[in-house]
Amino acid sequence: MRALVPVALLAVAFLAGCSSSDPSVSSSTNPVGASSAMPTFLVASVGEQGPEPTIGVTSDGSIFFQALANTMKSTDGGRTWANVNPPYALPTTLDPFLWVDPVTDRVFSDQLYVACSYLLYSDNGGATWVANPVACGTPANDHQKVTTGAYVPGSPLDRAATATKLVYPNVVYYGVNGIADSRIAMSIDGGQTFPFVAESFPASTPLPSGDVPRCGGGLHGSLVAGPDGTVYVPSRSNCAGARPGTLGGPVVAHSTDNGLTWTNTIVANEVGTPDHDKNPELAVDTENTVYIAFPGGDNRLYLSHSMDHGATWAPAVVVTPELGTVAMPVIAAGSPGRVAMAYYGVADAASSTTKDGLLAVPDNVNDTVRWSLFVTFSLDALAEHPTFQTVRVTGDDPIQVGGISTNSGDSDGAERNLLDFIDIVIDHDGRVHVAFADGCTSEACRGPAAKPADSRDRLGTVAVLQSGPSLYAATGTLMPA
């Protein structure tokens, strides 16, 4: 059990341009421009099973972690945790999700069941909860996501919410997968009702270019709202990709009228995405630049950005050319150009390389592969050639051995214990918090002879930045909270 990992043992450098075969050695100079010291993290278990975890931080520093049906809370920076579920029984969850509104500190906890979902929210840090047993406006759904965002001045929802803004100042968005489409429901009363519904990825509507019959739809990443109220949804692609054997680049839907209408754009089709891919993920900085992190067709991590609300995108750059296969990347942004990406990755690229010289998809890596949690920082992500600083947060203690299933319908024998995604947020100081699941908690799994069968746990775990760069430029370098 990964109860608490000393922060001083966690930082291992992987820097852009590094030529050494030893992952703890770098030939690069300071890549992030703030400090040559490596960022350090506290890593701790939340004490509950937590695949597909989500995390949020309120303005008083309390951390909330959704561990399946359990809403866990820490008031000491992630070191200890308590279950703050309401005192009444909840339905069995098919998919959990948590979101903390950074403006109001309202904590939303949502549990999926087939007909719809069961939404709870708390305005006092989990001491009491308000329940909405029919949370969404679109039934029979899957893979639900919740977020909040500002009203776009003059939008139909803005005009409709004249009175309800006194009830809650932001729009609450609820996104779900259909069979072949993705739908968004909107609430203007803080999550009590969801009367507005739109398709972010319709089942058969082509992109504006007209040359692709259908892209996106099905599984999508988290909903993200920018400071100006523009809402974004990323989706894995089902388009034809430029690279042999890959799909097209990820697809991003964006709405400038609080979710009522959507426009879709393909990102980095020249890079592609793996055939076995889950969700790309987005973040928006304080000046409304949107960033996307995703596994490319070669199964390495890529980053792109858009400065026009997702209409056009900069060429994607490879973030970690020195690593092997990556899975489930997530991203957070603060001031312009300052981002952090968390993901499961393989430190030894050779161990996840196939016979054709390409990296294997996470499902198909060999049985000796040992996965770690990585976090990569960039403080100049808007540069033509951004620099990156990467920390192997979990060190030599693996979080999984062998394949990680990223395609629920066809896993090629890889295990589904970690499910579909992890999560990352920053607090009001720009401090990074990561939620992930640890599948490797036994002594047998940590040993040199570990086999995939030893790696079947899914323990909810957090990684909290102790020292390193804030994602807010004005804050500079952070020290332990």
pLDDT at residue number 274: 82
pLDDT at residue number 177: 79
Banded model confidence at residue 144, pLDDT cuts 50, 70, 90: confident
The residues that bridge with 210 in the sheet, in sequence order, are none
Q: Could you tell me the pTM of the whole model?
A: 0.90
Rounded Cα gap, residues 48 and 63, in angstroms: 15
pLDDT at residue number 384: 93
Banded model confidence at residue 36, pLDDT cuts 50, 70, 90: low
pLDDT at residue number 244: 59
Q: Which of 413, 96, 460, 437 is nearest to 276 (CA)?
A: 413
356 contact partners, CB below 8 Å, separation of at least 6: none
Tokens 């995939």, located at residue: 452
Q: What integer best gives the mean pLDDT of the chain?
A: 85
pLDDT at residue number 432: 98
pLDDT at residue number 276: 64
Decide the pairing of beta strands 389-392 and 13-15.
antiparallel
pLDDT at 414 over 60: yes
Highest mean pLDDT among 114-118, 284-288, 356-360: 284-288
Average pLDDT over residues 413-422: 84
Burial 128-137 (b: 16+ CB within 10 A, else e): ebeebeebbb
Average pLDDT over residues 50-79: 97
pLDDT at residue number 287: 98
Percent of the chain, pLDDT > 70?
83
pLDDT at residue number 203: 55
